[in-house]
Amino acid sequence: MTTDKIRRIAVNTGGGDAPGLNAVLRAIVLSSIRRGWEVVGIQKGYAGLLDTSKIETLDHGRVRGITHLGGTILGTANKGDPFEMPMKLPDGTETTIDRSDELVENFHRLGLDAIIAIGGDGSMRIAHRLAEKGIPIVGVPKTIDNDLAGTVVTFGFDTAVMVATEAVGRLHSTAEAHERVFTVEVMGRYAGWIALHSAIAGGADVALIPEIPFDIDVVCRKIMSREARGRRFSLVVVAEGARPIGGEMVTRGPKELGREIRLGGCAEQVAGQITDRTGKETRTVVLGHLQRGGTPTARDRVLALRFGAAAVRVLAEGQSDVMVALDPPLVKTVPLTEATSRMKTVPLDSDTVYTARELGICLGDDWEGANY
Ligand code: F6P
């Protein structure tokens, strides 16, 4: 595939939204128009390529003034895997069917030459399977969780960390005034990036991350050692995927067909255990979707705009079945299979983990250097 063969491309945003999606769309549209290409937006993830009334032309006007806007002008979907589309059976139960051939047919019928798919690991997996079916496709990594392999960071992460850091910072004064403990639950699914970074930046006392199963007695020891030093309050950041040694992650509701299980509730459980063991009044704040909403930070905007422009560049070079990725100072490409081969969790031997420990932040384990 060469540049002169591309005339019309489609773009979609899939999975949970992340601040910066609109900035990517703007960069894609402006870079494409500059090359004389037409861009169409597929609404609600891949679903818009199955119901083609959900396709719209994206021109200058449609992407004007959207760099700073959260959400996505295309809408998104968590349940839109064309290879496993949920379908209701006459008896009311749900099953899934493979509608990918229909999607490929529509792609050709609409005169499309390529797709840029913006999404997380699920969207990248689908993108690879579509590439195998002959669709030229480039992925753009997105997730506040920062758990996609192949890229040093994803856009949305910086904004989520900023929101969580501000919350931890704000809770300090009220925690100190009332001599309380606060547990603050942050998102991140099975990775502790948001929890660890916001705990360090916000000056928390404890950070519980999925990568390090915690011992509640170690957490309480830290809180009581602060108490003994006259620091009668503590801030405990809890990743939604944190779990005790030998225990399970806390989930909400049953798993829905075609969707990831929902995590949540760990911070509330930890709060109860802290009160039981220390007698300290402990309150919980769950930040939830506040971390995903609203305007992206400048860092996320720049990264999103770079990814969008790079995706168009690599399509023009004839690349497909790849994801654009940050490898500072460069934006490069990695094969989609590599990006989806594993989840990027916090390495325990990373400088960030060492930094937290050196700062005296308890990570819930019996680290030998700890002096709580
Ligand atoms: O993957 C992004 C994320 O916000 C996770 O951190 C969180 O577990 C999940 O999505 C929440 O998904 P939903 O918005 O579908 O409840």
**CATH number of this structure's domain 8-155+296-339, picked from the four choices 2.30.30.100, 3.40.50.300, 3.40.50.450, 3.40.1280.10:** 3.40.50.450
Please tell me the CATH code under which domain 158-293+347-358 is placed. 3.40.50.460
**Chain length of the chain:** 372
E-assigned strands of 132-228? 137-141, 181-186, 206-208
Whether residue 33 contacts residue 140, with contact meaning beta carbons closer than 8 Å, is answered with no
Contact 117, 123 (CB under 8 A): yes
Q: Which of 13, 78, 161, 187 has the most ligand 1 atoms within 8 A of CB, as the residue to mutate?
A: 187
Q: How many CA atoms lie less than 13 Å away from 220 in the CB half-sphere?
A: 16
pLDDT on residue 1: 45
Ligand 1 center to 95 CA (angstroms): 23
The answer to whether the CB of 344 falls within 8 A of the CB of 171 is no
* Strand (E) or helix (H) holding 196: helix 193-202
pLDDT > 70 fraction of the chain, expressed in percent and rounded: 98
Long-range contacts of 327-333 (CB under 8 A, 24+ apart): 327/151, 327/152, 328/152, 331/306, 331/307, 333/138
Look at residues 39, 43, 45, 75 and name the one whose alpha carbon lies nearest to residue 59: 39
* Distance (Å) from CA 189 to ligand 1 centroid: 7
Catalytic residue positions, numbered:
145
Q: Taking residues 23-43, what's their average pLDDT?
A: 97
| pLDDT tens per residue across span 56-90 | 999 999 999 999 999 999 999 888 899 999 888 99
Give 109 or 370, the one with higher predicted confidence: 109
28/313 Cα distance (integer angstroms): 9
Between 157-178 and 298-316, two packed helices, what is the crossing angle to 10 degrees? 160
344 Cβ closer than 6 Å to some ligand 1 atom: no
Judge whether 171 and 182 are in contact, CB under 8 Å: yes
pTM for the whole structure: 0.96
15: Cβ contacts below 8 Å, ≥ 6 apart: 45, 76, 78, 119, 120, 122, 123, 142, 143
Per residue in 308-331, pLDDT tens? 999 999 999 999 999 999 999 999
What residues does each domain of the chain span?
Answer: 8-155+296-339, 158-293+347-358
How far is Cα 39 from Cα 43, in angstroms, rounded to an integer? 13
Calculate the alpha carbon distances from 223 to 170, 210, 226, 274, 281 in Å.
19, 20, 5, 9, 12
8-155+296-339 and 158-293+347-358: identical CATH topology: yes
The protein residue with its alpha carbon nearest to ligand 1, atom 16, reads: 262
